[in-house]
Amino acid sequence: MEQEHAGDLKPNILSVKRVAYIAIFIALSAVGAMIKIPSPAGTIGLDAAPGYFCALAFGYVEGVSVIFIGHLLTSGIVGFPLGLPLHIFIAVQMGLWAVAFRWVTHKFGMIPGTVIAVLLNGVVSAFTLVFVGGMGAALGVMPFLVAGSLINVVVAVVAYKGVHAGRLI
């Protein structure tokens, strides 16, 4: 397992390499933000895959940065329908989910990491909507959020496995 952590970037948060990776993957996240999964919330997109990928491939800082900004881009494209404060809260949640995904994946493997990320982002995050629409809103958006989470995490895992197998990182 120690070798898997060898791909982490330097601890210096302002290193040129680290900032470049984050910027590139934020751009990919912006593209994914424009690919929407139809749902009542309107903010479910393919923006999280680059963040999950970065969490696995480069580290916590990269994953959290990309997934946080990616969610804000996705919700911003549709005008922050839940309000900016709630979308910031959701972006923080997604950052935490990226941390959990990386930690569980490195500790227990890719399948448990995938399951945890989908459950956290798809089920736990759905309950954020209780604040704006009650339990009905949370349960109504949950299947769409689970589907979107599954797609994002699977895309990240497949990309990571391909890049890792090709020794590109």
> In the structure encoding, which two tokens stand for residue 113, read together?
């990491």
pLDDT in tens, 46-62: 899 999 999 999 999 99
Q: Is the pLDDT of residue 12 over 70?
A: no
State how far the Cα of 22 lies from the Cα of 70, in Å rounded to an integer: 11
* Residue 1 confidence (pLDDT) above 60: no
Cα–Cα distance, 31 to 73 (Å, whole number)? 9
Four-residue CA torsion sign, 131, 134, 137, 142:
positive
Cα–Cα distances in Å, from 83 out to 87, 96, 108, 137? 6, 20, 37, 15
pLDDT of 164 > 60? The answer is yes
Q: How many domains does the chain have?
A: 1
Q: Are 32 and 47 in contact (CB under 8 A)?
A: yes
Measure the CA–CA gap between 63 and 56, rounded to whole angstroms.
8
Query: What is the CATH classification number for the domain harbouring 69?
Result: 1.10.1760.20
9: pLDDT confidence band, cut at 50, 70 and 90?
A: low
pLDDT tens, residue by residue, 21-52: 899 999 999 998 888 777 776 667 789 999 99
> What are the CB-based long-range contacts (under 8 Å, 24+) for 73-79?
73/26, 73/29, 73/30, 73/33, 73/47, 74/32, 74/33, 74/43, 74/44, 74/45, 74/47, 75/43, 77/33, 77/34, 77/45, 78/42, 78/43
pLDDT classification of 154: cutoffs 50, 70, 90: very high
- Distance (Å, whole) CA 130 – CA 74: 20
pLDDT tens-place string over residues 127-152: 998 988 899 989 998 999 999 999 99
Q: Which residues form the domain of 126? A: 2-165
> Is the pLDDT confidence value at 10 over 60?
no
Query: Which residue bears the tokens 């809103």?
Result: 137
Q: Which amino acid is at 147?
A: A
Using the CB atoms, write b or e for 33-68: b if 16+ within 10 Å.
beebbebebbbbbbbbbbbbbbbbbbbebbbbbbbb
Q: What is the pLDDT of residues 48-104, one digit of tens each?
A: 999 999 999 999 999 999 999 989 988 888 889 889 999 999 999 999 999 999 999
Residue 169's pLDDT band (boundaries 50, 70, 90)? confident
How much is the pTM?
0.87
